[in-house]
Amino acid sequence: MADIIQLLPDHVANQIAAGEVVQRPASVVKELLENAIDAKAETIKLLVKDAGKTLVQVIDDGVGMSVTDARLSFERHATSKIRSAEDLFQLNTKGFRGEALASIAAIAHVELKTKQEQDEVGTAITIEGSEVVSQEAVVTPKGTSIAVKHLFFNIPARRNFLKSNTVEIRHIMEEFQRVALAHPNIGFVMYHNGSEVFNLPQSNYRQRIVNILGPKTNEKLVPVNEDTEVLKISGFVGKPEYAKKSRGEQFFFVNHRFIKSAYLNHAISSAFEGLIKEGAHASYFLNLEVNPQSIDINIHPTKTEIKFDDEHTLYAILRASVKHSLGQFNIAPVLDFERDANLDTPYEYSEKQASTPTIEVDRTFNPFNDETTKVSTLSKPKVSSQSFSSKRETPAASWESLYVGLESKGTKSQQDFSEVEFESSETTVSMFDESQITTKQSTYQIHNKYVFSAIKSGMLVIDQHRAHQRVLYEDFLQHITGKNTVSQQLLFPLQLTFSKQELDIVKQLKEDLEHAGFVFQNFDKNGFEVIGLPINVPESEVSIILDQLISDVEQGVPDAHFSVADLLAKSLAKSLAIKSGQSLSQTEQEHLVNSLFACKEPNVSPANRPTFITMTVDELDKKFM
C-alpha cells in the first residue's frame, strides 16, 4: 500500500493556523495591538474601515524592527520572546508563539512599514496570501505601521460567515477597550471610516475607565487594593446600586492580560451576595498580579483563558478583598452598636428637670346644651401656668335643627328615599348574601403567579408573566411596524448617560424606538434626553428598559437576517410585563385571559416558551385513583 501521509505546504498550514488565531477582524486588531505594546510604544493608533473587512491598520511609535527582523516576523514560529521551553513559564509579554503575523499574512493583503530609531531609512514589505510581493527601503517615522487589507480574500467561505458591520465593529471596540484598560500608561486612538471613536491619553487607571465608559462612571467606582505574597489586587468594583443586567463591564486582567474566568467571576458574585438583585451583574475592573510561574497561558489560541496553580487561594483572597472594600467604603450594610452623638442631651438642658404634661378637661361640657358651648380642651396639653381655652359660637338652634325642613314639602312615603343617590358609596353585603352567592367567578390566581380558568374539557393554567409578554409583544410589534404609535410627553426631560458603545447601540435603534413611542433629543458623546414615552410606560422604568434592550442587543446581536423591530418588541415586552408574584384583581385576570387568546399566537411567549397548559377532567380524575 502506498504512503498516504505527507507534509502540508506552508501556505496551507498557515491558513489552518489562521482558523484558530483569526476568527474575525477583531482578532486581527487584538494581535496587532498586542504587538505594538510589546514594541514598547507610547502612542498607538488604530484605523478601521468597513468594520475591519476592508482595512485594519495599527500605527505605533515603538522600537521598530531591522530589515532581517521585518522579514522573519512573517515566518511561522519566529519569535523574539522565548528561546527554550522554560521561557514559557516566565512570560511577561503579549505574544510569544510567532503565529499571529504568519496567520494574518496567509489570509489577507499585508503592508508593513517599520524603522528603528538609529536607522536612516526603514523597511516596507508587501505580502499577499503568504507570498512576499515586494520588499524595499522606504522613508518612514520611527516605529511600525501594519495595514491588513481585504481580510479572508482567498477564503470566501470564511468571509461569508462574518456578521454585519454593526456587529463586527462592536467586537473590535470590545477588543480595543480590553487592551486600552490593561495599559493606561499608553495613549490609544481609534478611527472608524475616518471618524474618531476613542481618544485616550496616557492617564491613571481610574481616568482610563472614565474616558472609555463616560464621566458618570467615576461616581460608581469603589477602589479595591490588596497585596499578599500570592496575589496583588488593584482596581475598582462598581457600587451595588449600579449593577447591570449584562456582563459588559466585567474585566479581569492577569499580569496586564485580559482573561475570562467563570471561577473568579463567581468570587465577585459571592462578595456582592445580598447587595444586588437576582439576575443583575456587578461591574468590576480588577488587575491581578501573580508569579508568571504559577500560571499557564498557553492553553487556548486566543490566550483569554489561563490555568492557575492554586485557584482556591485566589478565590478566597479575591472574595475577601472585594467584601472588605465594600464594607470599608460603607457600601455594604453593617450593624453599628456605637452611641450616636446626635441623640445626646444638649449641654444647656443637662441640669433641667423634665416637665410632666398635664391635661385639662372641661367636665361641664354638654354638646346637647342649648346654651353657648365651650370648647373642650380634651387631649390638649397644658403649655403654660395659665389654662388656655377658647369659646366657639354655635347657632342658636339645637341639634334637632339639623332635621328641620325634611318634611317641609309635605308628608311622603319612605319609598322616596330610594331615589337618593350618593357619588362614592360602597355597598357592603354579608358573607351569605344571595347576590354574592349567585355571582360567578371565572378566573382564580394561585401564588400570585398562575391564573386558573375553567373550560369545557377541564382546566386552563396560565403563566401570567409569559402571557403578558405575548400580549405586549404583539402590541409593540404592531406599533413599531405600523409606525402609528402615540407618545406621552414628559413634563421634564429625562437625562440618561451611557458609555460610547451603549450609546452607539441606542443610536442604531433610535428610529425603531421612536416608532415604538420614545422621543429623544440632545444626543452627545455622553448620553441623551428622553422627552416622550410610549403609553403605559412609567418614567421610572425607562432606564431599566433601555439597559435591558442594550443587554439583549449585545447578546442577540441582530444582523442582516434578523429583525431589529422584533428584538425591540421582545425586549420591551420582557421589561414591562407583569412579574411573577404580582397580585391581580378579578378584572385584571379576566382581561389578561381575553387579551392572550386574542393574540395571533397565544400558545407561546416571545421566547417560544408555553404560556398555558390544559388539564382535562380525565387527567384530574386519574390523580384521585
Instruction: Return the closest-CA partner of residue 391 out of 371, 418, 415.
Output: 371
Strands 443-446 and 527-534, by their bridges, are unpaired
d(CA 376, CA 208): 72
Sorted by sequence, the CB contacts under 8 Å of residue 396 that are 6+ apart come out as 370
531-572: per-residue pLDDT in tens? 888 877 788 878 878 887 887 777 665 544 456 677 778 877
Three-state secondary-structure class, residue 145: strand
Strand, coil or helix: 308: strand
The answer on pLDDT for 264 being more than 80 is: yes
| Cα gap 606→589, rounded to integer Å | 20
CA-to-CA separations, 120 to 36, 143, 262, 315, in angstroms, rounded: 21, 13, 50, 52
Cell 515603538 maps to which residue?
A: 62
User: pLDDT averaged over the chain?
Assistant: 79
569-615 residue pLDDT tens: 887 788 888 888 888 888 888 888 888 888 888 888 888 889 998 88
pLDDT of residue 15: 66
Provide the residue ranges of all domains of the chain, joining segments of one domain with +.
10-200, 207-328, 452-612
Q: How far is CA 371 from the centre of its chain?
A: 74
Identify which has the larger pLDDT, 87 or 346.
Answer: 346
Per the CB < 8 A criterion, the answer to whether 357 and 382 are in contact is yes
| Predicted pLDDT at 136 | 92
> Is a pLDDT exceeding 60 seen at residue 412?
no
> What confidence tier does 387 reach under pLDDT thresholds 50, 70, 90?
very low
- pLDDT (0 to 100) of residue 82: 53
**Residue 111 clears pLDDT 90, i.e. is over it:** yes
- Residue 379 is predicted with a pLDDT of 45
CB 610 within 8 A of CB 604: yes
CATH 3.40.50.300 fits 207-328, yes or no: no
Containing 106, the helix (H) or strand (E) segment is: helix 100-106
* Side-chain-facing half-sphere of 345: CA atoms under 13 Å: 8
Mean pLDDT check: name the lowest of 106-110, 239-243, 471-475, 544-548: 544-548
Query: Which architecture characterizes domain 10-200 according to CATH?
Result: 2-Layer Sandwich (3.30)
Query: What pLDDT is stored for residue 125 in this prediction?
Result: 93
d(CA 211, CA 507): 20
Pairwise CA distance, residues 566 & 574, whole Å? 12
Rounded to whole angstroms, how far apart are CA atoms 108 and 146? Answer: 12
**What percent of the chain is predicted at pLDDT more than 70?**
76
- 13 or 212, which is more confident? 212
Q: Taking 90 as the threshold, does the pLDDT of residue 110 lie above it?
A: yes
- The residue-averaged pLDDT of 414-439 equals 49
Per-residue pLDDT, averaged over 495-521, amounts to 83
- Kindly give, in sequence order, each residue whose CB lies less than 8 Å from that of residue 76, ignoring residues fewer than 6 positions away: 10, 13, 14, 17, 98, 99, 102
Of 250, 246, 322, nearest in space to 284 by CA: 250
Position 343 scores a pLDDT of 59
pLDDT digits over 472-481, tens only? 888 888 877 7
Q: Which three cell numbers stand for residue 512?
A: 425603531
- The fold adopted by the segment(s) 452-612 is Ribosomal Protein S8; Chain: A, domain 1 (3.30.1370)
The CB density around residue 171, as the number of other CB atoms within 10 Å, is 20
Please give the Cα distance from 143 to 122 (Å, whole number). Answer: 9
